[in-house]
Structure 1
């Protein structure tokens, strides 16, 4: 998926549910980033790792190898998750941030719902086998990766893309197969269990254009890693963007109810671009303004009140937000009479 415009370049069974294994941890990181951004969690806050947690998670699958009595900070736990896929670090972060796994899972699932991840549910913070409670889809993971990189770009750069981590005298490498191997690649997360097979959510950015890719159910790690690299290179090498409408261009109007004006101009807050195979013609492009209307006043300049639906060769391809290009105050009594007369005579 090209996240600069949300366009899917290739998909196969993108809505099929599967077990994500450690790719689950991307939602744990997203949930932490959101709390940090809201001021509810601080990266420098220490957490007292308990004997109970050590007994449950030491050397259980991929590990940061935390020991009871240690006091990692939230930032160190995040690095333990993003760099060495620590199952122990994921649980520690959950407990440190909300006091219990139950509270943390509620946040993870609320965030999934907010992002429109309709084929996803989380039953653990780390993807450890849980009897099928945790599942997702390629489409949903692409949405999650897009939200992570767009909503929290500085935190993403700070915590993803590290090649290794040393904790407690143990040095480990990051198993990310694309960072350092594909130009512009910077993460995100591999996963493996017998139930899930080999999975990966990966991303790379070149010249302001970011691609997000998902692989699931690979029978071995080598195939997953090669395919991940080849998919990203294919996306950059074989596609280019074409501008349809520049940013801040007025493209039409929406009807207004009970406003001082009967309609309001609509403009593009960002450039409308489509991604096409290199060396090919754009094809027959049609654009349609879509909104639930008339839109009730008051409306403020900049309010996002409509969508621009783009179809190429008759196939709906993309939707872009449209915003009000002016402020429309609520009509006074006389203006409402005039508006009613206009509607009656139209």
Structure 2
């Protein structure tokens, strides 16, 4: 799957709703949960956790790791770098146990965040994606939702922890296995995954000229084919499509009808810049815009309330939707004002 995050439009998808085993791509959700907890004041990068003997025994030699020593005291900041840069299985478990008290508690947080984001076809049974007989699964569409959330809600943390060439910890230098970093212009991270159960997968992103594409490749049979597919897909997206502005943040897109309010309607505005993606050379008139909302709205209506969506249809591409919010508040009308509105409605 390939999506332009600036417009939300799908540029390509094949079996995007088919469930698959994500392997270490799971760690993107672990990192997202950590970023959310930091913003909520429940976790700090300076927190120090001690590696439990049981954790060391199980994970010190299992898959990709940051080689945490027995009884090591390690900061959350180091754990996040290890997880993002070198796919640390051991670091993921230490973070889960330290931040949530147990792996099970951490999994509850992961699955709650998945539901909150609308990842309807995903479930997490492990913080690091280690094989668990299929209890952990996701889809390409859900991973794009997760990628959008992590880069838009946490741009500074994303820039700090993702996109590194590698990581040195405990005197051991390791490279990042991301197939695009260093070889694709604008590539700045996300996560690879591999197990015998899952094959080779990749959630990746790149940004050029302020335009960000997110892609998912799953179940490749070799890491070379995964790399080739990732490279071809992202370059195709940047070379064959372009993004153009439709509405600036704060500009009025349309109106929504309001019933029993001091006003009969409320302006709908763009909470952020709204763009559309076109095939290169495509015409601006090849776009159809439709506002959707459950109406008429019932007063009172709050300012900034997300009550509508703008559907963007570009010829040759699937439609996408972006949110619209109310520009002002509309208070509930009294009896006289409702009478005036009724008379006004007859003539308008």
TM-score (norm 1): 0.95
Deviation of the 1:313 alpha carbon: 4.0
Range with bigger deviation, 221-230 or 236-245: 236-245
1:315-326 equivalences in 2 (<5 Å): 317-326=319-328
Measured in 2, the distance between the counterparts of 1:314 and 1:257 equals 38
| Match of residue 337, structure 2, among 325, 335, 338 | 335
Residues 9/57 of structure 1: CA separation in 2 closer, same or farther (3 Å cut): same
1:304-339 Cα deviation digits (max 9, x unpaired): 221112223497612122222333122123223444
Q: Which runs of 5+ in 1 are unaligned?
A: none
TM-score (norm 2): 0.94
Measured in 2, the distance between the counterparts of 1:83 and 1:284 equals 42
Q: Which protein, 1 or 2, shows the higher relative CO under an 8 Å CA cutoff with sep ≥ 6?
A: 2
SS in 1 for 2:38: helix
Check the 8 A contact 1:302/1:326 in 2, yes or no: yes
SS in 2 for 1:212: strand
| Match of residue 222, structure 1, among 217, 220, 224 | 224
Aligned twin of 1:249: 251
Check the 8 A contact 1:309/1:316 in 2, yes or no: no
Aligned twin of 1:152: 154
Aligned twin of 1:124: 126
Aligned twin of 2:202: 200
CA RMSD of aligned residues (A): 1.9
Check the 8 A contact 2:65/2:86 in 1, yes or no: yes
Residues 81/316 of structure 1: CA separation in 2 closer, same or farther (3 Å cut): closer
Residues 166/313 of structure 1: CA separation in 2 closer, same or farther (3 Å cut): closer
Measured in 1, the distance between the counterparts of 2:297 and 2:121 equals 32
Range with bigger deviation, 274-283 or 28-37: 274-283
SS in 2 for 1:79: helix
Measured in 2, the distance between the counterparts of 1:343 and 1:283 equals 33
Aligned twin of 1:167: 169
Measured in 2, the distance between the counterparts of 1:115 and 1:4 equals 18
1:52-91 equivalences in 2 (<5 Å): 52-91=54-93
Deviation of the 1:296 alpha carbon: 2.1
Aligned length: 346
| Match of residue 21, structure 1, among 16, 20, 23 | 23
Q: Which runs of 5+ in 2 are unaligned?
A: none
SS in 1 for 2:319: strand
